[in-house]
Copies of this chain bind each other. A is one copy, B any other.
């Protein structure tokens, strides 16, 4: 391909790969979306490398698709129009760490666990926990959240500043190192969650938080998902700032038991984590225990040392694996987020759709945010099964939007949620597309994602 050959001559050879294994690795993420290989993979080592490759990509009109850890669930990193896959393995350093400011600046390729390893020894931690050991760049790009969002929000709530390289090679800062600001339009918020469609993130300044003195975990069960949702709501209204509050349905616990030979009580469950000063968390755990009892809970169990805590939360932690270990199966994972009063209705819809489909799957999620996942296992070679799985997905997304919620609470739009953008955002979509054109007039940044 003449164009690519010309392109290559301007780049350092040792930063380019067209090896079979690299092209394969960059063709996919953890979703069920079809795999497509890029023309080549580029490994930038600094901001200048990113500027260089974007300027060239702009000149040659070659698509650029950023790739983090490949742990995305909506195909954001799949280079559907081929071109360059930008890999951040070499752009993964800590740029500046200010423990006294509870702040760190990192490059996008550092992973969540690497970041925490770096800051934990200073008594600090970065709380956002999407489960996977995603790169921080990828987490910013999808506005990731997870089990701690009930206390710390999403990535957008933790990002203070981004250095971004735009398609034309110019470099912007979207915020500052101030913990809050009322200056200018909030570009941080636009770039966080933009999935690589507006520019390439090359530096990220994040808030850090003090590690609480004590953590207590607990778990209890209820008869119905409705009871779980109502009990969770009562916790929110109490003003107690739980660290984590998760819902797992009975079927999913059953799946975990089967997968791991466990004997966890196979009932609809709430999992809690409380964190703070020692007596404070003891009291919070006690208050919530009483509250849960008032709501008819059973099997209240609690643990404070870290080994026991891990044991207690095992059914929650091993959930994704318990489903994904099923050989020859792919999965879709609806990711709706709704006002918490609508949660029982939506969870019920998820279960009904699952049963109607005749497919395996479970319902679980971040009940404190109204965000939950309905995982559906299907045989990817069986069109009928695939269609049923996608039907479950779409029914949940449309219902969520109908009740005032969103089609995606944390996984992002990527390829899978494009079809709901107009239904969810209405006329705002045309302005989103205009914003895209403003930052990327030639449309080289992750084309074919987010909007049609």
Q: Which residues of A contact B (CB under 8 A)?
A: 98-103, 123-124, 142-145, 149, 153-154, 156-157, 170-174, 176-190, 192-194, 209-213, 233, 236-241, 275-281, 283-284, 287, 335, 337-341, 369-371, 400-401, 403-413, 417, 420-421, 424-429, 431-432, 434-436, 438-439, 450
Measured CA separation A435–B181 after assembly (Å): 19
Q: 17 other contacts beyond A171-B427, A240-B277, A277-B283, with CB at 8 A cut-off? A: A145-B180, A149-B180, A176-B406, A178-B369, A178-B371, A180-B369, A182-B335, A183-B407, A184-B428, A185-B432, A186-B186, A186-B190, A187-B431, A209-B239, A210-B240, A277-B287, A280-B281
Measured CA separation A238–B425 after assembly (Å): 41
Task: Tell which of A177, A238, A287, A370 has the most Cβ of chain B within 10 Å.
Answer: A177
B residues near A183, Cβ cutoff 8 Å: 406-408, 412-413, 417, 420-421, 424-425
B residues near A413, Cβ cutoff 8 Å: 182-184
B residues near A425, Cβ cutoff 8 Å: 173, 183-184
B residues near A185, Cβ cutoff 8 Å: 190, 193-194, 432, 435-436
B residues near A180, Cβ cutoff 8 Å: 143, 145, 149, 153-154, 337, 369, 371, 409-410
Question: When A157-B157, A236-B102, A241-B241 are in contact, do A337 and B409 touch as well, CB less than 8 Å?
Answer: no
Taking a contact as CB atoms under 8 Å apart, the answer to whether B100 and A233 are in contact is: yes
B residues near A436, Cβ cutoff 8 Å: 185
Of B188, B212, B405, which one neighbours A177 at CB under 8 angstroms?
B405
Question: When A185-B190, A410-B180, A421-B183 are in contact, do A172 and B236 touch as well, CB less than 8 Å?
Answer: no
